[in-house]
Amino acid sequence: MKIKRNIRHLMFLVCMMVISSCTLFPVSSEKDSLPSTSSTIVSSAEPASEDDSEASSLESSAPQSSEAPTSEAPPSESEVPSSEPEPSSEEVSSSEEPSVSVELEMKRSTYTNSVYFYDFPDPSGVYDPIQRMWFLYATGGQYLRSSDGVTWGNKGWVFGHLPSWGTTGAGLWAPDVQYINGQYVMYYSLSTWGDPNPGIGYATAPKPNGPWTDHGKLFLSLEIGVNNSIDANAFVDPNTNRVYLVWGSMRGNYLVELTRDGLGFKAGSVENAALSKIRVAGLETEHGWDAETYEAAYIRYWRGYYYLFLSMGTCCEGLSSTYKVVVGRALSPYGPYYDDTGKDMRNRSAGKLVLQKNDTFVGTGHNCVIDDVNGEPWIYYHAYHVDKQSARVLLQDKLLFDENGWPYVENYTPSTTEQIGPYYHSVVE
C-alpha cells in the first residue's frame, strides 16, 4: 500500500511539473509569413486604349498588397467633367492593410512608344506600393494608372471642378504629385497663355487616386517675386527629409524650403519666402521670356549629387517644337548646379543633354522620374508624334547613367522599337 501511495504521489508531482512547463514556455502555432520575390518574368503588354472599359481590366486585376508605403495648353471646357469618378470598392480596400501576407514575384512587360497615344502633356507621377500601381498626372487635371508601369488606362480627373482662385479663365497646368509625410500632396499651376500673374496651388489626398482636397493658393507670381510662376516640383531630400519646392518657366527657376508636411513655407509667410528664395537655374526673373532658358524643373538625388532636370526650347509648336531635356547637378539642393562642362545652370543654353527629338518624336520634354520596384529609374515625358501633331503623347524610357554619373536616355532620343519595361510586383498564383 505504501509503495502504491508513493507511486501516486510521484505521478502527481510529474504532472504538476509538465503543467508548469507549458505555462512558462508556451508553444506558438503561428508562423511568420514574409513576401518573397521569385524569378523575373517578361510578358507582352497591349497598347493603352482611351476606352476606359478596356483599361478597367487593369484596376480589377490589381491584387491587394501587404507592402508598407515605403508650356502647357489649358484644357477645353469639355475636357473637365462635372464630377470626379467614384473609386471602386477595390480601390478603397486596397489602401488598407490586409490581414494576410501574399507572396510576390517581380515581372516585366514590354512596350513600344508612345505608351498612351492621346494628349497627356507635362506628366508627373508616383508609384503606390500599397495598391502596387503607377499613377501619372497631366495638364488639365487628368490622371492615368498602370499596374505594370507600361500599360496606361483608367483615365480619371483629380478635381470635379477646376479651382478658381487664379486669373479668370485659368486652366490647371502641370500637376506634380509627391508622397510627403504620410499623404500625397499635389502642386498645380493655374495659368492662361500670357498670364501676368499665374500661381501655384496645392491639394492633399490619402491615396494617389484621391479623393483630393484642394487647399487653394500657395502663392501668386507677384507675391513670390517670380514672373511666370508655373511648373512646380516638390522634392523630399532622402538625406534630411527636408522638403523643397522648385518652379519657374523661362523667367528664372527658383527654390524655397517648405515645412516638413509640404503645406507651407519654412520661412513662415509668402513675404518671407519671397526674400529667402534661391535662383537655381535660368536668368534673373526681370529678364524677358527666353526659350534658351528653362522650365519644368525636377530634382532627384543619386550617389552624392542632386540632379536638376530642366526642359528648354519651345514646347507647344507641333513639329516645329524644339523642346529637349537637360540636366545639371550640385552637392546641395540649393545649388549651385553645373553641367558636365562646368557651366553654371544660371546661364542660357546650359545643361548636359538627356533627351531630344528624333525622326518619330518631336518636342520631347517636361519629364518626371519614377523608380520601379527594383529601384531602377524610369523617365516619363511627352512629345509630338510626327503622325499626330495635335497632341503631346506620353512616352517613357529607362534612365541610364554614364561612367561619370550623368543620367541620359539611350541614344539621347526616345525609343521607337519594342522595349522591356519596369519591374513590377505580381502576386504568385
Report the C-alpha gap between 209 and 85 in whole angstroms: 10
- Domain membership flag for residue 412: yes
Residue pLDDT tens, the chain, 429 long = 444 444 454 454 444 443 444 333 333 333 332 233 333 455 544 444 444 433 333 333 333 333 333 333 333 333 333 333 333 333 433 444 444 689 999 999 999 999 999 999 999 999 999 999 999 999 999 999 999 999 999 899 999 999 999 999 999 999 999 999 999 999 999 999 999 999 999 999 999 999 999 999 999 999 999 999 999 999 999 999 999 999 999 999 999 999 999 999 999 999 999 999 999 999 999 999 999 999 999 999 999 999 999 999 999 999 999 999 999 999 999 999 999 999 999 999 999 999 999 999 999 999 999 999 999 999 999 999 999 999 999 999 999 999 999 999 999 999 999 999 999 999 998
Asked, for residue 117, whether it belongs to a domain, the answer is: yes
For the chain, the maximum distance between any two Cα atoms, rounded to a whole number of angstroms, is 114
* Bridge partners, 114 (sequence order): none
Stated pTM of the model: 0.80
Asked, for residue 1, whether it belongs to a domain, the answer is no
- One-letter-per-residue 3-state SS of 359-377: CCEEEEEEEEEEECCCCCE
Helices (H), 72-155: 89-94
Beta strand pairing status for 233-236 and 213-220? unpaired
By CB neighbour count within 10 A (0-12 exposed, 13-18 middle, 19+ buried), where does 123 fall?
buried
For residue 226, what is the domain's CATH number? Answer: 2.115.10.20
Helix (H) or strand (E) holding 342: none
The answer to whether residue 12 sits within a structural domain is: no
Residue 281 lies in domain:
39-427
Residue 18 lies in a domain: no
**pLDDT at residue number 101:** 86
Q: In DSSP terms, which residues pair with 21 in a beta bridge?
A: none
Q: Is residue 28 part of a domain?
A: no
Distance CA 180, CA 312 (A): 28
Task: Select from 16, 27, 33, 140 the least CA-distant residue to 78.
Answer: 140
Q: What are phi and psi of 106, to 5 degrees?
A: -90, 135
And the C-alpha cell for 406?
550623368
Domain count across the chain: 1
Residue 113 lies in a domain: yes
Per-residue pLDDT at 381 = 98
Closest CA to 320 of 381, 363, 366, 382: 363
CA neighbours within 13 Å on the CB side: how many for 13? 6
Residue 91 is placed in which grid cell? Answer: 480601390
DSSP for 126-141, written as a single string: EEETTTTEEEEEETTT
